[in-house]
Amino acid sequence: MTGLPTSPLPALLVGFPILLAILTLFFRPGVKALVGLAGCLLTALLAFIAFVEVTQRGTVIHTPGGWDPPLGILLRMDALAAVFIGMTALVGGFISLYAWRYLRAQDPATGGYPLFWPLWLFLWAGLNGLFLSNDLFNLFVTIEVISICAVALAVLSGKAGALKAGLRYLLAAITGSMAYLFGVALLYGSTGTLDLDHLGQVLEPGTTTTFALLVVTLGLLIKMAGFPFHFWLPPAHSNALAPVSALLSALVVKGAFYILLRLWMEVFGVGITYAAGQLIGLAGAIAVIWGSWQAFMQTSLKLLVAHSSVAQLGYLLMIFPLLILPPGVTADSADWLSVTWTGGVYQVISHAIAKASFFLSAGIVIMAVGHDRIESLRDLVGNMRITSMAIGLAGVSLIGLPPSGGFVGKWMLLKGILLSGQWWWAPVVVAGSLLTAGYVFMLLRLAFAPAREKEPFRPVPKTLEVVALLLAVSSFLIVFPADYLIQFLENSEIFGSGIEAVLKGGFYGND
């Protein structure tokens, strides 16, 4: 590729976790967990090294096999990829620690779900691969790796409910992948290339292009549980083991969002229409309201948190209409664009951290009281101070109250909405925040309420509580590097050509 520095790090980021994953297969269950945990921590370390590398050297690339695109595959680690990889490492690292202790406590007989470790490492590799990939088909392979791992992890408990939810999830995921791949086939048929950069240059508007982009988007929407396709998410996320729920909510669904963002910013300057953007925004808006309302109505803790994920993903969908100007309109300044997409990315990070903490805390509560009815939270403050703090902080971040990370995310989203002139999304954000506050404070209210009948809280390993709290605190601490991260993303100029195309009116500009 043109003059960008190469680095072996992208290859290592994918290869290393897989190497560890296959190594873990050789060990006895107990040792497997240790090796797996060590592997996770090493992977996290590697990811941080990679992040620093990008901050130092800017975008680095790697071409496996040494073949340049379009024939070969390009791995490109730019600021966006680095941020996502860093997020995965941060959240993943904490969850690994939690999982190590949690699984042992849950299932001492078989050594704590030994399959968790190879699957999680594979999942990690898949996520890294997805963030790095610059090739449409390679993206398909990585999302398949992710889907299979995710579903396998989700059914790890082996309970009937989890299996059913898992099958639903898997079928949705396969359908999504196939829809995505159909779009890729059409794009390849039209352009003869799979490389994203190349595609952005040669793609021409037309029925095929528009249809392909829509099918790709549809597939990815199914994968990220966008509104009408959210049906699989709540059962799958709520039936999984706590660390798995955290992984699924915090990281897995974000993979599809990442591709969608990349494609919309880099490739879809031509071909996607204003109406399509509005439609996706509408889906997001409905998801925000519907998901929050559903969360509010739940009586089971994990279902509540899972529905909240549907709503929070809705916010992410709402950035897509803002990326497209109405027909016939051009713009001189891309202020609103950079606010919108960097805000979206920031929202992803803050949601990942907060939601992971939320799920981990829910896992602790369930472990302590033995069931996951919301009532179990009664007098939590009196019994488990650390966990109640974690739930409180994570909840506040989800609502988007200052000074949490969620606040900065919502701030930027709302600003993007107002700057883009599409003010009609603003009430949705407000209503969503209120509903979120509704269910978060419903939980907190119970946590403060005195216990009715004396239900004993079983003691829970301190490690778990501390990890959940650390994550919750992180969801506030990420406010401090917010400026740096956003500048880092903005200055990287990754979407330069895409933004230019949008400013010129995209599809309409070419007519």
Partner 1 sequence: METYQIYSITSGVLFVIGMGGVFLSKHFIKKIIATIIMGSGVFLAFVSFAERDALSFADPVPQALVITGIVVAVASAAFALALARRIYQLTGEESFTIEK
Partner 2 sequence: MSVLIDSLLAILIVYLALQCLLAPRLTQTVFLFFAFGLALALAWVRLGAVDVAITEAAIASGFLGVLFLDALRDFSFITSGKQESSDAANHSVSKKKPAFLSLPGVVLVLGLGLFLLITLEAVWKVPESGGLTAATEALLPESGVENPVTAVLLNFRAYDTWLEMGVILLGLLAVMAVGGIKIFPVHRKTPEDPVLQQVILFFTPILFLFGAFLLYFGKNGPGGAFQAAVLWGAIGILLHLGGRPVLTVIPRWLSQLLLIMGIGFFLMLGFLLLAGGASLFEYPPSYAGVLILIIETLAAISIAVTLVSVFVHLNQLNKEESN
Partner 3 sequence: METTSFLPLLILISSLVPGIMILLLREEQFAMRTFLNLFGAVAKVALVGWVFAGYLSGEEYNFIFRLAPDLTFALRLDALGLFFAALSSALWLITTLYAIGYLEGGLHRNRFFAFFSLCVTASTGIALSGNVITFFIFYEFLTLSTYPLVVHKGTDEAVAAGRTYLWYTIGGGTILFLGVVGLYAVAGPIYFGQTEIIASLISEYPTQLTILFFLVLAGLGVKAAIFPLHGWLPVSMVAPAPVSALLHAVAVVKAGAFGIVRLVYDVYGIGVAEEMNFLSVLAVFAAFTIIYGSVRALYQNDFKKRLAYSTVSQISYIALGVAIPGALTSTGAIVHLVHQGLMKITMFFAAGNVAETYGHKKISELNGIGRRMPLTMGAFTIAAFGMIGVPPVAGFISKWYLGLGAVEAGSYWVVLVFLASSALNAAYFLPIVYRAWFCEPDHEVVERLRSGRLETQALLLIPVVVTGILSLTSGLFAAVTGSPLSIAREIIEKFYLL
Which residues are near partner 1 by CB under 8 A? 71, 137, 140-141, 144, 147-148, 151-152, 155, 158, 160, 163-164, 166-168, 170-171, 173-175, 177-179, 181-182, 185-186, 188-189, 194
d(Cα 179, Cα 186) in Å, to the nearest integer?
11
Segment contacting partner 3 by CB under 8 A, of 111-119, 122-130, 395-403, 456-464? 395-403
Complex with partner 2: residue 210 or 497, whichever CB lies closer:
210
Kindly tell me which of 279 and 386 has the beta carbon lying closer to partner 3: 386
384 binds partner 3 (CB under 8 A): no
We find the least distance from the C-beta atom of residue 176 to partner 2, in angstroms, to be 15
* Distance (Å, whole) CA 454 – CA 431: 37
Residue 171 partner contact from partner 1, partner 3, partner 2, none using kind-dependent CB cut-offs of 5 to 8 Å: partner 1
**x/- letters, 415..454, toward partner 3 (CB under 8 A):** x--xx------x--xx--xx--xx--x--xx--xxx----
DSSP secondary structure of 17-40: HHHHHHHHTTS-HHHHHHHHHHHH
User: Which residue from 192, 403, 481, 496 is in contact with partner 2, where contact means CB under 8 A?
Assistant: 192
**Rounded-to-integer distance, Cα 410 and Cα 408, Å:** 6
Does residue 190 touch partner 2 according to CB under 8 A?
yes
Nearer to partner 2, 244 or 471 (CB): 244
Tell me the CA distances in angstroms from 381 to 32, 269, 442, 508, one per residue in order: 36, 51, 14, 57
Q: Is 486 in the site for partner 3 (CB under 8 A)?
A: yes
Across 379-402, b (16+ Cβ under 10 Å) vs e yields bbbebbebbbbbbbbbbbbbbbbe
Taking alpha carbons only, the member of 372, 437, 428, 342 closest to residue 398 is 437
Q: Which of 36, 39, 70, 291 binds partner 2 (CB under 8 A)?
A: 70
Name the minimum Å distance from CB 90 to partner 2: 24
Nearer to partner 3, 13 or 408 (CB): 408
Q: CA angle at residue 336 from 330 to 341, to 5 degrees?
A: 115
| Interatomic CA distance for residues 397 and 391, integer angstroms | 10
Cα separation, 383 vs 404, in Å, equals 25
Judged by CB under 8 A, does residue 222 bind partner 2?
no
The helix or strand, by DSSP H or E, that contains position 60, with its residue range, turns out to be strand 60-62
CA angle (416, 279, 222) in 5-degree steps: 100
> How is residue 316 written in tokens?
């992410």
Considering only CA atoms, which of 314, 239, 312 is closest in space to residue 281?
314
Q: Which of 89, 132, 250, 482 binds partner 3 (CB under 8 A)?
A: 482
Helix (H) or strand (E) holding 75: strand 75-77
Partner from partner 2, partner 3, partner 1, none contacting 174, C-beta within 5 to 8 A by type: partner 1
Interatomic CA distance for residues 470 and 449, integer angstroms? 25
Burial 406-423 (b: 16+ CB within 10 A, else e): bbbbbbbbbebbebbebe
Binding partner of 327, given partner 2, partner 3, partner 1, none, CB within 5-8 angstroms per partner class: none
For partner 2, the closer of residues 31 and 71 by Cβ is: 71
155 interacts with partner 2 by CB under 8 A? yes
Determine which residue in the list 49, 228, 370, 480 makes contact with partner 3, applying CB under 8 A.
480
Q: What are phi and psi of 365, to 5 degrees?
A: -60, -45
Binders in 298-357 for partner 3, by CB under 8 A: 339, 346
Residue 292 and residue 295: Cα distance in Å, rounded? 5
Binding site for partner 2 (CB under 8 A): 6, 8, 11-12, 14-15, 18-19, 22, 25-26, 62-67, 70-73, 75, 115, 118-119, 122, 125, 129, 137-138, 141-142, 144-145, 148-149, 151-153, 155-156, 158, 163, 186, 188-193, 206-208, 210-212
Binding site for partner 3 (CB under 8 A): 339, 346, 381-382, 385, 389, 396, 399, 401-403, 407-408, 410-412, 414-415, 418-419, 426, 429-430, 433-434, 437-438, 441, 444-445, 448-450, 479-480, 482-483, 486-487, 490
